[in-house]
Amino acid sequence: MKIADADILILPGLFGGSDDYWYSRWTGKLATARRIEQDDWNQPDRESWVDRLVTAVEAAERPVVLIGHSLGALTIVHAAPKLAGSKVRAAFLVAPPDLEANSETVPQGNDFLPVPREPLPFPSFVIASRTDPYAEYDFSDDMAAAWGSMVFDAGDAGHINADSGHGPWPEGLMMFARLMKQL
């Protein structure tokens, strides 16, 4: 599938990121991409975030490909049962956090527990880092297997955000293009 033939919906994680984040740059670069805004980036409410995503998918005019970073990736996973049979064709899940292991350091994510382990109803890629402070690689690999996702090892990439040096993140864009080619 060509990127121009899909509505690309981008879901940032906790705090919403900044203009320096790769997904903010992709929103400006990919003509059919748009960012899903949330009412409260600092105190996320799972039900609200999931509803906002489902509403955006329903409003899309073309097939949908989802991109989620961190808590945005888990929003996609939580919304998946509501998106089965919808316009969603695939999901690109970057650095999904291990909320159980980080429940004290990132208590804002506790509303997203437990994290579903059912297979996703659409193809998906999980991009995982060996040095993500919010998820051990084995956790990411295990979750990808549960979700039926292909996992890609991003190596020493931190949380794959601006703080870890992933502003433009061209390698990620190449992985996303690979996902699109498979559709």
Question: Over the stretch 76-94, which tens digit does the pLDDT of each residue have?
Answer: 999 999 999 999 999 999 9
Query: Would you say 132 and 159 are in contact if contact means Cβ atoms under 8 Å apart?
Result: yes
Q: Which DSSP string do the residues of the chain spell out, in sequence order?
A: --GGGSEEEEE--TT---TTSHHHHHHHHSTTEEEPP-S-SSS--HHHHHHHHHHHHHH-SS-EEEEEETHHHHHHHHHHHHHTTSSEEEEEEE----TTTTTTT-GGGGGGPSPP-SPPSS-EEEEE-TT-TT--HHHHHHHHHHHT-EEEE--S-TTSSGGGT-SS-HHHHHHHHHHHHH-
Position 165 scores a pLDDT of: 84
- Which one has a higher pLDDT value, 166 or 110? 110
Residue type, 162: A
Where do the domains of the chain lie, and which CATH numbers do they carry? 3-182 (3.40.50.1820)
> Is pLDDT above 90 for 162?
no
Q: What is the mean pLDDT of the chain?
A: 96
Query: Would you say 165 and 154 are in contact if contact means Cβ atoms under 8 Å apart?
Result: no
- Residues 140 and 151: their CA atoms lie apart, in Å, by 8
Give mean pLDDT, residues 155-180: 92
* β-pair partners for 97: none
Position 96 scores a pLDDT of: 98
Measured at the alpha carbon of residue 153, what is the angle toward residues 36 and 176, in degrees to the nearest 5? Answer: 40
Lowest mean pLDDT among 15-19, 64-68, 125-129: 15-19
What's this model's pTM, rounded to 2 decimal places?
A: 0.97
Confidence grade of residue 163 (pLDDT, cut at 50, 70, 90): confident
Percent of the chain at pLDDT > 90 equals 95
Give mean pLDDT, residues 52-80: 98
Structure-token pair, residue 50: 């999931």
